[in-house]
């Protein structure tokens, strides 16, 4: 694994109001070829952390770098290095599936040859070939989610930021996504994934960042978390519940 982190979140404090920050000194990194699970209960600060990483919110304190660039210094370079799969699909009802993917290709300056090759493969992988020319307004919830996933993986960035990707997906879609993430990780891409499905997160992620009430209460691989909690051989789900309950006692 490279010693140069792709994503650096350094002492991030932030939120919607300067007087009441949601996040407090969040600090973690992602390296090339690494998949990290961002975990927490509803309201823990996962979405707010992701919004700061995307450049949609300005930190109160701290700094975020992607491939050693900050959003303030170089917004175009910063954004070019990541693709985002949101929890709720953001699509244009008047565009077809293929037109959405063409739009993503244009935004990331893909060549026509690369776009067509990747498009054909993704349509096949996610069983969306029959929907290629269908308007997005006619897609089911699961198909809309597949469209978001295909748009992100079409451009093959250095960093994938994926928020609750399994919602609405059928079992074949989930398997295709997981296989695709494993492949991209092997090729050196980094993946930051937020999900409540802890059994899947444990199986596929290399490390875990656990947030609770805007604080980072754990950061490490499963062995690190087992040592931190004194729960040798425990599953991620049991460790997560232990940490959250333990923090709740001290509120």
pLDDT for residue 247: 56
pLDDT for residue 179: 94
Residue 79, token pair as written in the block: 């954004």
Q: If you write DSSP's letter for every residue of 32-98 in order, what string do you get? A: TT-EEEEE--TTSSHHHHHHHHHTSS--SEEEEEETTB-TTT-HHHHHHTEEEE-SS----TTSBHH
Q: How far apart are CA 164 and CA 37, in angstroms?
A: 11
Q: 243 vs 35, 153, 247, CA distance in Å?
A: 21, 34, 6
Predicted structure pTM score: 0.92
pLDDT for residue 2: 46
pLDDT for residue 18: 80
Please state the domain extents for the chain: 1-81+158-251, 89-156
Residue 61, token pair as written in the block: 């304190």
Task: Give mean pLDDT in consecutive 10-residue pieces for the chain, a chain of 251 residues.
Answer: 83 89 96 96 94 95 94 91 92 95 93 93 94 95 94 95 90 93 95 95 96 96 96 95 72 47
Tally: H helices and E strands in the chain: 9, 9
pLDDT for residue 246: 59
pLDDT for residue 194: 95
Q: 158 vs 70, 149, 187, 226, CA distance in Å?
A: 15, 15, 10, 30
Q: How far apart are CA 60 and CA 63, in angstroms?
A: 9
Backbone dihedral angles phi then psi of residue 125, each to the nearest 5 degrees: -65, -40
Superfamily of domain covering 1-81+158-251: P-loop containing nucleotide triphosphate hydrolases (3.40.50.300)
Distance of CA 232 to the CA centre of its chain: 28
pLDDT for residue 236: 97
Q: How far apart are CA 100 and CA 136, in angstroms?
A: 9
Q: If you write DSSP's letter for every residue of 190-214 in order, what string do you get? A: EEEEE-S-HHHHHHH-SEEEEEETT
Helix (H) or strand (E) holding 26: strand 23-30
pLDDT for residue 1: 47
Q: How far apart are CA 88 and CA 149, in angstroms?
A: 11
């Amino acid at each position: 694994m490279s010693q140069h982190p792709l994503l650096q979140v350094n002492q991030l404090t932030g939120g919607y109001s300067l007087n009441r920050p949601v996040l407090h000194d969040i600090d973690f990194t992602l390296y090339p070829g690494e998949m990290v699970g961002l975990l927490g209960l509803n309201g823990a600060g996962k979405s707010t952390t992701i919004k700061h990483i995307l450049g949609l919110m300005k930190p109160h304190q701290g700094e975020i770098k992607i491939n050693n660039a900050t959003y303030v210094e170089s917004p175009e370079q910063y954004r070019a290095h990541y693709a985002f799969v949101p929890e709720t699909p953001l699509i244009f009802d008047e565009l077809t599936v293929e037109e959405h993917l063409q739009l993503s290709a244009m935004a990331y300056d893909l060549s026509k040859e690369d776009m067509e090759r990747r498009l054909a493969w993704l349509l096949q992988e996610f069983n969306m070939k029959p929907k290629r020319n269908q308007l997005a307004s006619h897609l089911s919830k699961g198909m809309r989610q597949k469209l978001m996933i295909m748009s992100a993986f079409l451009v093959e960035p250095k960093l994938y930021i994926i928020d609750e990707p399994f919602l609405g997906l059928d079992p074949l879609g989930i398997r295709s996504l997981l296989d695709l993430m494993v492949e991209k990780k092997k090729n050196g891409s980094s993946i930051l994934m937020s999900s409540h499905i802890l059994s899947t997160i444990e199986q596929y992620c290399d490390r875990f960042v656990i947030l609770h009430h805007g604080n980072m209460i754990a950061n490490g691989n499963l062995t690190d978390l087992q040592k931190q909690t004194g729960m040798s051989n425990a599953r991620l789900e049991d460790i997560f519940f232990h940490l959250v309950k333990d923090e709740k006692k001290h509120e």
